[in-house]
Amino acid sequence: MLKRYAALTLGLIAVVLFLVYAGDYLILELRIHSNKNAFGTVTVHRYYAVPQKSGKLEFLSTDPQDQTCVHSLFPHMGNPPCWYLVRHTEQRIDL
The three-state (H, E, C) secondary structure of 7-54, written as one string: HHHHHHHHHHHHHHHHHHHHHHHHHHHCCCCCEEEEEEEEEEEEECCC
**Chain mean pLDDT for the chain:** 94
Write the pLDDT tens digit of every residue in 13-52: 999 999 999 999 999 999 999 988 899 999 999 999 999 9
Report DSSP state, residue 1.
-
Q: Is 72 helix (H, G, I), strand (E, B) or coil?
A: coil
